[in-house]
Amino acid sequence: MRPTRWMPLALLLLTPAGLRAQNVKSSVVLDAMKAEMARSLEHFKKLPTPPYFLSYEVLETEEAAVTGSFGALLRSSPASRQRILSIDLRVGSYELDNTHPIRGAAQIAMDILNTYPLPVDDDPDALRAMIWYYTDQRYKRAVEQLISVKTNVQVKAAETDKAGDFSPTKAETYSEPAPPPLVFDRKLWDDRVRKYTAPFQRFGNIYSARASISAERNTHWFVSSEGASIQTADTAYRLLIQAFAKASDGMELPLYESFYSSTPGGLPADDAVLEKVSKMTKSLMALKSAPVMEPYVGPAILSPRSTGVIFHEIFGHRIEGQRQKREGQAMTFRDKVGQLVLPEFLSVYSDPTARMYGSTELAGYYKFDNQGVRARKVTVVENGILKNFLMSRVPIDGFPESNGHGRKGPFYNSVVGRQSNLLVVASQTLTPEELKKKLIEEVTKRKLPYGLYFEDIAGGFTSVGRNEPNYFEVIPIMVYRIYPDGREELVRGVDMIGTALTAFNKILAADNQSAAFNGVCGAESGFVPVSAGGPGLLFSEIEVQKKPKSQELSPILAPPFDDK
């Protein structure tokens, strides 16, 4: 599970008012989906094995992007548009259907990735013809799968989870206007990526520096045999700046800054971006001469910038519902509902209805998930006690229905429980200065030479299967040693490692600062936008190992900038 570049944003949680359906003229796409579904279901009734559930989801994406490096353009793409159809067709029953995992056999990739292109023209006949053909393909495949599923259930051991394969839900009706035309001034952003990357020319050991801006305009349509009819729309603007330097021993030193907004005006002004660029160049120069960190076990502080990434990786993937059901999963928290899994002063929420975290707009916001279920706030942990899992429409023992967290990426067909906006809240806090003082007390008590402070983390991954070590690894990029006299020293070459239950058991305190991160998370249902946030945390013990190091030395030739 790899979230791509996580970058900090900021404070206080705000939740928008409840959704209200609007009187919007029905779209050609939605009408075509409804008409073809009604016709298909009428024909399927005559067959020996009719579907008990059918849904269509269509995503239309219009996207434009610009990329620059060292003050020059690399790519400037005009807006392109596409439509993608996903089909969920189920034969059998809610208790056992064709999607049931076949144990002992590799899952077929086409069943996960099988989405279909649709015309971008609003031609109802063309749309219906393609939906018809793809529905027919899915039906034939589903009937074959059900036969294999029934055989597999008969010859394999009883499964741990006794819940069915799918759960009923309320059929929602909601429609909102299509988003306005995509706002993307290519000339303006061509100039900006040149401006943002030009300062990196002045530093010879920065061998790669890029800025990219992308703009997306998305429209989602969803209909189901249960009667759901949903049309939603959104826009997303993202700016990513990344730079790489190389130390004299060959170690690569990456830094990233990322910004997200649903409007172009929500991205930062040039002065703010250039200030971040200046900080990046200074940090890369400092990292190049920083000492390499040795393996270490001891107390450490995570900045608010880092807490979100850690909780997304270590905690968030382990509370996704289907991981408590599948036999190949470690099921870390399956039997811990109602038990203390975090310190009593911490609570955790997953809230896709949260649009803002202080002044930061959250990328994990949505109104309905990919199964037509209304988004809702889920209390995962309350005062340290595990209360809930993130549920799609795949039920598990004790949790029979979805709570609006069934998600997938654009080119994936299968939907699973996924994170949205994962927010950690502390009921007891210290100031950052008090947290540092407690860290030094821990260092002194254990007669250690120093503790650690993790200021920034780029991302990471975690293993949640039972057929492999159940560990995590995250990739810090700005780490400091904190000595007993309060002195701080930047170090490089650090990877944080560990196991989930041990790590959670080591949290001692939280500070009174908060920050949120926006990123993109990759898992078995594709890449989805997510956010995570919380306060700074003090751990009594964190383990780090040496980071992998390239054997390629720094460039032998001086860069051309040095000749100017």
HEC secondary structure over 2-44 = EEEEEEECCCCEECCCCCCCCCCCCCHHHHHHHHHHHHHHHHH
Phi, psi torsion values for 39, nearest 5 degrees: -65, -45
How do strand 378-382 and strand 346-350 relate by DSSP bridges? Answer: antiparallel
Report the C-alpha gap between 209 and 107 in whole angstroms.
Answer: 40
For 180-226, what is each residue's pLDDT tens digit? Answer: 888 889 999 999 999 999 999 988 789 999 999 999 999 999 999 99
The answer to whether residue 70 is domain-embedded is yes
Least reliable range by pLDDT among 7-11, 46-50, 233-237, 322-326:
7-11
Question: How many residues would you count in the chain?
Answer: 564
Number of domains in the chain: 2
Residue 486 has pLDDT above 60, yes or no: yes
pLDDT range class, residue 114, cuts 50, 70, 90: confident
The whole-number pLDDT of residue 560 equals 72
The answer to whether residue 193 is domain-embedded is yes
For 141-178, what is each residue's pLDDT tens digit? Answer: 999 999 999 999 888 888 888 999 999 999 999 999 87
Q: Give residue 32's identity as a one-letter amino acid code.
A: A
The answer to whether residue 76 is domain-embedded is yes
Question: Is residue 466 located within the same domain as residue 354?
Answer: yes
For 408-448, what is each residue's pLDDT tens digit? Answer: 999 898 999 999 999 999 999 999 999 999 999 999 999 99
The answer to whether residue 2 is domain-embedded is no
Q: Is 310 helix (H, G, I), strand (E, B) or coil?
A: helix
Picking from 234, 258, 289, the residue at the C-terminal end of a domain is 289
The answer to whether residue 314 is domain-embedded is yes
For residue 179, the surrounding DSSP H or E stretch is none
Question: Is residue 363 located within the same domain as residue 214?
Answer: no
Domain of 209, in residue numbers: 26-289
pLDDT range class, residue 24, cuts 50, 70, 90: low
CA distances in angstroms from 36 to 55, 176, 273, 286, listed in the order given: 11, 22, 49, 62
Q: How many helices (H) and strands (E) does the chain have?
A: 8, 24
Structure-token match 């992998």, residue found: 548
Report the C-alpha gap between 484 and 474 in whole angstroms.
Answer: 26
Picking from 269, 289, 309, the residue at the C-terminal end of a domain is 289
The whole-number pLDDT of residue 136 equals 97
Picking from 289, 307, 324, the residue at the C-terminal end of a domain is 289
The whole-number pLDDT of residue 214 equals 96
For 445-467, what is each residue's pLDDT tens digit? Answer: 999 999 999 999 988 888 888 77
pTM: 0.91
Question: Is residue 504 located within the same domain as residue 531?
Answer: yes
Average per-residue pLDDT for the chain: 90
Q: Report the greatest alpha carbon distance in the chain.
A: 80
CA distances in angstroms from 212 to 43, 71, 186, 237, 276, listed in the order given: 49, 12, 12, 11, 15
pLDDT range class, residue 359, cuts 50, 70, 90: confident
Considering the chain, what percentage of its residues have pLDDT values greater than 90? 77
| Nearest CA among 296, 299, 295 for reference residue 538 | 299
Question: Is residue 277 located within the same domain as residue 301?
Answer: no
Question: Is residue 475 located within the same domain as residue 389?
Answer: yes
For 61-88, what is each residue's pLDDT tens digit? Answer: 999 999 999 999 999 989 999 999 999 9
